Chains A and B, each alone.
Chain A
Amino acid sequence: MSLDKATVAKVANLARIRVEENHLDTLANELNAILGWVEQLSEVDTENVAPMTSVAEMQLRWRADEITDGGYQQEIVANAPSDEDGFFAVPKVIE
């Protein structure tokens, strides 16, 4: 599998990273080098192998569904680049 310019542009859009048109080729080459190297994973027989999802063999814990936290709106927005009345402020989304 090899990434072309259009695919890199699509992936960059999915990742919400603006990439200038004249940088797409370089990026495609870099990503292809890495993906080409990763291809060797296909040599490994993984028939009937379950994908690893947790390193310690443990069950996730259960807990009661209770509110244990909250009540500090000002702290939550304290680091926001822009906030109004305790809310995060963003550019206008709806016309």
Chain B
Amino acid sequence: MTDLTKLTIAEARDGLKASKFSARELTAAHITAMDSARGLNAFITETPEKAVEAATKSDEKLANGEAGLMEGIPIAIKDLFCTKGTLTTAASHILDGFTPEYESTVSANLWTEGAVMLGKANLDEFAMGSSNETSYYGNVVNPWRRKKDDQPLVPGGSSGGSASAVSSNIAMGATGTDTGGSIRQPAAFTGIVGMKPTYGRCSRWGTVAFASSLDQAGPMTRTVRDTAIMLEAMAGFDAKDSTSVDMEVPNFEAALTGDIRGLKVGIPKEYRLDGMSEEIAALWEQGIEWLKSAGAEIVEISLPHTKYALPAYYIIAPAEASSNLARYDGVRYGLRVEGDSLDDMYSRTRAAGFGHEVQRRILIGTYALSAGYYDAYYLKAQKVRARIAEDFKEAYKTVDTILTPTAPSAAFAFGEKGDDPLEMYLNDVFTVPASLAGLPGISLPTGLSADGLPLGLQILGRPFDEETVIRTAGVLEEAANFTAKPDAWWRG
């Protein structure tokens, strides 16, 4: 019998409809894979019983011809989405024991379309990190290793558990959230596809907030087609999120026409960083060549404020985080550390409950918003952000999509970038600008490093034009024909 965990979502969907296997069989195969991959630490909570229950329901719906877009497809949910009756931690000690009484809109949309939850995926604490080294529940391990080297590597972050689960065939897809690159960078590090849609496309309701003007949910899968299918199931207007956009969700899969003749693809010259690794430069060059041969017109563009995106981000995101995370006070949910007074209880609870990186960001954010410094830091950063958004707007007058590398390097080893937070922040140099501007972006694997690790390219698009991004990505995916897989060492 074929290994059901090797199928794509599209293949599984067709197999289920043709009754080649049942949703229960498909889910059982993934539960077995999950059991054998604990060494990756991709999950904080596994929910196999719920998965079997959901798969049984999917079989009934399939038999009655009522299948949804994701009917019977086993997926992982990043543990930042509230799931009714299932522990939700944001990978933080401060949410100890928190079992939501409600369901996030994005996960609810997925269940309506028939998806099956395998469990809650590990992540950086409150999604703050680029290597999944800040989780209270331990590091997630990348299924990929360097050639002839057993050293464990980071999966990227913050959606590291989601990335690892999809890359190792434990889950057919996973939800991620992207604030500055948290879907796209781990997708690149683990050789999978990840998409951050336009801000407002997916509801933020019921997702633990990090930086509300940047947070956006999106799919992580193994193919561009699967990303299109899953995004359609996740997206949609939600009155409960005031920034949710009331627009029809297109059939994203139909955007995969394979035809990009005449499409104008921008290459931003500011992304050619000094000291960019030759491997990354060559990968980018190859991507340009592939799109050119498919009939796209390559246009050099300028995004002059690119270098200011990271510093602006590291004011705006911590400022919003310091405000959002004020709610964790030991009163309404999670951890409480008793103290001499109410204030003392707050301070002790928050000192014990938040990890080091989260505390650092709350302090930076609090300082940036404090009296006397607000104009110099927060207001200035929001003005710089406006200039970055203008850069893109200007560029999109002449181009339809933009092609860049996703990350400045392949996956690195644990502790390799631990000491200096600034070095870690540089991981997001290519992903943060589009986050600030709210634009859609996808990362897909297009090559291997000399060490044998996956490398990704990123395609950005106009606001709410995910379709052109998906269409371009589909062409690039076909040209790159990326078929490499990690050795399944974790099965022991």
Q: Contact residues of A with B, CB < 8 Å?
A: 1, 3, 7-8, 11-19, 27, 30-31, 33-35, 37-38, 40-44, 46, 49-56, 58, 60-61, 63, 72, 75-76, 78-82, 88, 90-91, 93
Interface core residue of A1, A46, A80 (most chain B CB under 10 Å): A46
Question: Known contacts A18-B351, A55-B213, A56-B198; is A88 also within 8 Å of B332 by CB?
Answer: yes
Whether A61 pairs with B389 at a CB distance below 8 angstroms is no
Neighbouring B residues of A81 by C-beta, 8 Å: 330-331, 333-336
**B207 CB → nearest A CB, Å:** 17
Q: Is B226 an interface residue (CB 8 A)?
A: no
Neighbouring A residues of B326 by C-beta, 8 Å: 16
Closest to B346 in A: A16
CA distance A41 to B315 in the complex (A): 10
Whether B387 pairs with A46 at a CB distance below 8 angstroms is yes
Question: Known contacts A56-B243, A80-B333; is A15 also within 8 Å of B380 by CB?
Answer: no
**B33 CB → nearest A CB, Å:** 32
Whether A33 pairs with B422 at a CB distance below 8 angstroms is yes
A-B contact pairs, 6 of them (CB 8 A): A15-B366, A16-B329, A44-B305, A51-B379, A56-B200, A91-B345
Number of A-B contacts (CB under 8 A): 162
Task: For the complex of A and B, list the 9 residue pairs with the smallest distance between their C-beta atoms, beginning with the closest.
Answer: A55-B438, A51-B382, A81-B336, A79-B333, A46-B383, A18-B347, A18-B351, A52-B386, A75-B101
Main secondary structure of the interface of A (DSSP, over half): loop
Q: How many residues of B contact A (CB 8 A)?
A: 73
Whether B367 pairs with A3 at a CB distance below 8 angstroms is yes
Q: Is B437 an interface residue (CB 8 A)?
A: yes
Closest to B393 in A: A57
Interface core residue of A7, A42, A49, A72 (most chain B CB under 10 Å): A49
Stretch touching chain A among B59-67, B139-147, B165-173, B354-362: B354-362
Closest to B345 in A: A91
**A29 CB → nearest B CB, Å:** 11
Pick the residue among B98, B100, B364 that contacts A31 (CB under 8 A).
Answer: B364
Closest to B375 in A: A51
Neighbouring B residues of A42 by C-beta, 8 Å: 380
**B144 CB → nearest A CB, Å:** 31
Whether B331 pairs with A46 at a CB distance below 8 angstroms is no
CA distance A19 to B356 in the complex (A): 11
**A11 CB → nearest B CB, Å:** 5
Pick the residue among A43, A50, A80 that contacts B383 (CB under 8 A).
Answer: A50
Whether A41 pairs with B384 at a CB distance below 8 angstroms is yes
Neighbouring A residues of B373 by C-beta, 8 Å: 1
Neighbouring A residues of B308 by C-beta, 8 Å: 40-41, 43-44
Q: Is B18 an interface residue (CB 8 A)?
A: no
Q: Is B350 an interface residue (CB 8 A)?
A: yes
Q: Which of B310-336 contact A (CB under 8 A)?
A: 311-312, 314-315, 322, 326, 329-336
Whether B342 pairs with A17 at a CB distance below 8 angstroms is no
CA distance A42 to B376 in the complex (A): 9
Whether B383 pairs with A55 at a CB distance below 8 angstroms is no
Pick the residue among A40, A52, A58 that contacts B382 (CB under 8 A).
Answer: A52
Neighbouring B residues of A13 by C-beta, 8 Å: 347
Whether B363 pairs with A8 at a CB distance below 8 angstroms is yes
**A89 CB → nearest B CB, Å:** 8
CA distance A76 to B101 in the complex (A): 8
Q: Is B109 an interface residue (CB 8 A)?
A: no
Whether A91 pairs with B99 at a CB distance below 8 angstroms is no
Whether B360 pairs with A17 at a CB distance below 8 angstroms is no
CA distance A49 to B379 in the complex (A): 11
Neighbouring A residues of B330 by C-beta, 8 Å: 81
Pick the residue among B332, B348, B359 that contacts A80 (CB under 8 A).
Answer: B332
Whether B332 pairs with A31 at a CB distance below 8 angstroms is no
Given contacts A55-B389, A56-B463, 4 further A-B contacts (CB under 8 A): A11-B370, A18-B350, A60-B242, A90-B345
Neighbouring A residues of B380 by C-beta, 8 Å: 41-42, 46
CA distance A95 to B239 in the complex (A): 44
Neighbouring A residues of B332 by C-beta, 8 Å: 79-80, 88
CA distance A90 to B349 in the complex (A): 13
Whether A56 pairs with B438 at a CB distance below 8 angstroms is yes
Whether B382 pairs with A34 at a CB distance below 8 angstroms is no
Per-position 1/0 for B243-267, Cβ under 8 A of A:
1011000000000000000000000
CA distance A43 to B387 in the complex (A): 13
Neighbouring A residues of B149 by C-beta, 8 Å: none
Whether A54 pairs with B336 at a CB distance below 8 angstroms is no
Closest to B437 in A: A55
Whether B422 pairs with A37 at a CB distance below 8 angstroms is yes
Q: Is B338 an interface residue (CB 8 A)?
A: yes
Q: Which of B35-63 contact A (CB under 8 A)?
A: none
CA distance A35 to B377 in the complex (A): 9
